Amino acid sequence: MYSDLNGKVAVVTGGSKGIGNAIAKRFGGEHMSVVINYHTDEVGAQKAAKVVEDEGGRAAIVQADISTEEGNKKLLDTAIHEFGGLDVWVNNAGMEIKSPTHKVSLEDWDKVIAVDQRGVFLGSKTALDYFVSNDKKGNIINMSSVHEQIPWPTFASYAAAKGGVKLFTKTIAMEYANQNVRVNAIGPGAINTPINAEKFADKKQYDKTVSMIPMDRIGTPEEVAAGAAWLASDESSYVTGITLFIDGGMTLYPAFKDGEG
Ligand code: BGC
């Protein structure tokens, strides 16, 4: 546990499932107050809130579309009115749609960019505005991916969004570094979450993914949440503008692992 996190207030977007859910739980274990955002999965969000409380934290759930300004404002308002302010904002919500790029509809392209990139901008803007206007120390964590670095054919919209998140994170980290706000990204690799459930249910695809990971296994949401807790805490007080890859080595060019090339 990180003692400085005790009593801090966090917003976690997309907190009803997967990595966001694990981050909410971990923040509960740090005795934080957590605003859990969900889009459609109200039951998942309620369960997540119960877990946060069981872990020793406080929780509020908020339905909101994080690709809109009103959605993000709703999250900040809840943090302020329910818990008295904001310390940590995690832009976690994300989605991906697979399609050969020459077949991607404009609608699907816009949908992915709206959630994965515009949502990160709007969430960061909302949090930054609160931190700066209140002259308050702040912390922003953006969920990126190994695909901010590794090209991903048939997922061009996702890779384009995550590549954008990478430089957006670094840019605002620099812009607000001397105003007591730290901004970092996390780049998960293949993690056992609902976004991957269908793919990993297929043994061939599962084995193929594992073969691309030097550590020979899929990661857990808790392993990503551990990184989020560290970035949120003062233990990482001199860290800003990084992407912390939590990927079992997936970004290390695993095709070279036998010394060939
Ligand atoms: C994606 C997963 C994928 C992983 C590794 C993540 O960003 O959400 O679907 O398995 O990257 O390719």
Ligand 1 atom 4, closest CA = 190
203 is a domain residue: no
Query: Residue 108: which domain range?
Result: 3-192+220-247
Give the neighbor-by-neighbor strand order of the sheet with 88-91: 58-63, 33-38, 9-12, 88-91, 138-143, 181-188, 243-246
With a 6 Å cutoff on the Cβ, whether 181 touches ligand 1 is no
- Taking the centre of ligand 1 as the mean of its atom positions, its distance from the CA of residue 145, in whole angstroms, is 7
Q: Residue 152 CA: which ligand 1 atom is closest?
A: 12
Separation of alpha carbons 109 and 30, rounded Å = 37
Catalytic residues: 158
The tens place of each residue's pLDDT in the chain, 261 residues long, gives: 999 999 999 999 999 999 999 999 999 999 999 999 999 999 999 999 999 999 999 999 999 999 999 999 999 999 999 999 999 999 999 999 999 999 999 999 999 999 999 999 999 999 999 999 999 999 999 999 999 999 999 999 999 999 999 999 999 999 999 999 999 999 999 999 999 999 999 999 999 999 999 999 999 999 999 999 999 999 999 999 999 999 999 999 999 999 988
Determine the pLDDT at residue 90.
Answer: 99
- Substitution candidate for ligand 1 out of 17, 191, 205, 243 with most atoms within 8 A of CB: 191
254 is a domain residue: no
With a 6 Å cutoff on the Cβ, whether 190 touches ligand 1 is yes
Ligand 1 atom 3, closest CA = 190
209 is a domain residue: no
Domain count, the chain: 1
Separation of alpha carbons 40 and 252, rounded Å = 36
- Taking the centre of ligand 1 as the mean of its atom positions, its distance from the CA of residue 190, in whole angstroms, is 5
Determine the pLDDT at residue 4.
Answer: 98
Ligand 1 atom 7, closest CA = 145
92 is a domain residue: yes
260 is a domain residue: no
132 is a domain residue: yes
pTM of the model: 0.98
- CATH of residue 104's domain is 3.40.50.720
20 is a domain residue: yes
How far apart, in Å, do the first and last CA atoms of the chain sit? 43
98 is a domain residue: yes
